Amino acid sequence: MIERYLEKKDTGIIWLGKIPDTWQVVRLRFLCDITTGDKDTNDRKDDGIFPFYVRSQTVERISSFSFDGEAILTAGDGAGVCKVWHYTNGKFDYHQRVYMLSNFRSVTGAFLFYFLKENFIHEVLKLSAKSTVESLRRPMFLDFPVALPAIEEQVKIIEYLDYQTRLIDLLIEKKEKLLQLLKEHRQAVINEAVTKGLNPEVGMKDSGIVWLGEIPESWRLSKLNYLFEIKKNIAGELGYDVLSVTQKGLKVRDLDNLKGQLSMDYSKYQIVDEGDFVMNHMDLLTGYVDISKQEGVTSPDYRVFKLTKADCLPEYYLYLFQMGYKMKILFSYGRGVSQLGRWRLPATEFKNIFFPVPPLDEQKAIVEYLNNITNNIDQLLEKVTLAVNKLKEYRQSIISEAVTGKVDVRDWQPTTKVAL
């Protein structure tokens, strides 16, 4: 049973509040040594035998090691600041913009790892006017206050947190696997419907296109050039919403975050009418496509196009185009340098891609079927995602309460065995 400490004292630190009266607040400078590495990303070796800690949650490999022992590592700059933390014990090397904490005194590395991972951001943000910090400086570490119990109590807290977080991690892992299976099922249902139709008994014929395979006998094929018209209407003046394509669809951009780009490039922006397709054809790896529900303008680097055939349903072709991104079908028609993320779909290639053209009534039936089934799957995805987020929040609260003395785990005992 988890208890609360009866006797507490005020630390005078807003984010830390009160701690047990047997604990003390010690500046980080007195608890460990703090250094940075001397390696660069170019030193990474795919077949290296030692871990190489960079400014990412992903641990790379390297052929050298500069430290052997217990250590905490965190990103010194970039997107990983106050987000990327590693705890290790052994031989490794680390990036020149990664901070290493080692040679621990009066504190176990594992306890300090838990404490810093949950609380370091509070003190760092106090020193910055920004909501996100771009880089860390050594004084931020040296003066950081750590709430410190006795070593034996630290060991008990670590035992408790290792056990509890492992239980939660196992639940998260199961739910994330379910999310992946649901996403795969969703895509498989779409793929089958838009390329094979809804009637499994119908006669089939070879389309002659590798990614498409067999299609129903009543379907025909057509080049996109005969189905769509590429538009290039330039805005020239202000007054439109700026639209951007993301994996979640077409979104209105926040003009405050354009940082002057809009005033400089607006004359080149393309007009988008309601019902137009907007495609990020410059990035076939992470780009996407959507149908606009409003009038606006979009980047000159995007492709804006519209259906020209009365017997073609936009929603059916949207499913096809989005499948083209998800399944990397459009990627096979692209040109560029994929290693640099520059893999685009030229207009000439776009126009010559063959897409199926089912009878209009079948297109309508397919769209209605997919709208219903994907809506059901999306609702389930949302519920599971919410459950995962709540588990992560619960995990964070358990750690925070234990390492700041909000709960007393000195008499805690595990109820079941968990593989750690």
Q: CB–CB of 192/216 below 8 Å?
A: no
Residue 132 DSSP one-character state: S
Write down the pLDDT at residue 217.
97
Between CA 74 and CA 179 the distance in angstroms is 29
Paired tokens of 321: 């185009």
Burial of 270 (0-12, 13-18, 19+ CB in 10 A): buried
Q: Write the pLDDT tens digit of every residue in 200-244.
A: 999 999 999 999 999 999 999 999 999 999 998 888 776 788 898
Per residue in 120-149, pLDDT (tens digit) is 998 777 765 555 667 888 888 999 999 999
Q: What is the share, in percent, of the chain residues with pLDDT greater than 90? A: 75
CA distance 50 to 60: 9
Mean pLDDT estimate for the chain: 91
Q: How far apart are CA 7 and CA 405, in angstroms?
A: 11
Q: Where are the alpha helices (DSSP H) in 134-232?
A: 138-142, 151-196, 224-227
Rg from Cα positions in the chain:
28
C-alpha distances in Å from residue 338, one per residue of 145, 196, 244, 285, 373: 46, 31, 22, 8, 34
What is the predicted pLDDT for the residue at 334? 87
Q: Supply the pLDDT for residue 43.
A: 94
Domains by residue range for the chain, with CATH: 24-148 (3.90.220.20), 220-357 (3.90.220.20)
Nearest to 51 by CA among 33, 73, 35, 34: 73
What stretches of 45-169 adopt beta strand conformation (E)? Answer: 50-53, 60-62, 67-75, 85-94, 98-102, 145-148
Using one digit for the tens of pLDDT, what is the confidence trace for 38-54? 999 999 999 999 999 99
Residue 240, class by beta-carbon neighbours within 10 Å (0-12 exposed, 13-18 middle, 19+ buried)? middle
Please provide residue 121's backbone torsions phi and psi, each rounded to the nearest 5 degrees. -60, -30
Note the pTM of the prediction, 2 decimals.
Answer: 0.83
Q: What is the pLDDT of residues 174-199, one digit of tens each?
A: 999 999 999 999 999 999 999 999 99
pLDDT digits (tens, 9 = 90+) for 89-112: 999 999 999 999 999 999 999 999
* Segment 14-71, tens digit of pLDDT: 999 999 999 999 999 999 999 999 999 999 999 999 999 999 999 999 999 999 999 9
For 363, the token pair is 């297109």
State residue 349's pLDDT score. Answer: 93
Residue 264 has pLDDT above 60, yes or no: no
Secondary structure (DSSP) of 349-383: HHHT-EEEE--HHHHHHHHHHHHHHHHHHHHHHHH
277-309 residues labelled b (16+ CB within 10 A) or e (exposed): bbbbbbbbeebbbbbbeeebbbbeebbbbbbee
For the cut 90, the answer to whether the pLDDT of residue 261 exceeds it is no
Directed axis angle between helix 151-196 and helix 314-326, to 10°? 130
Query: Are 303 and 344 in contact, with CB atoms under 8 Å apart?
Result: no
Give the per-residue pLDDT at 338: 53
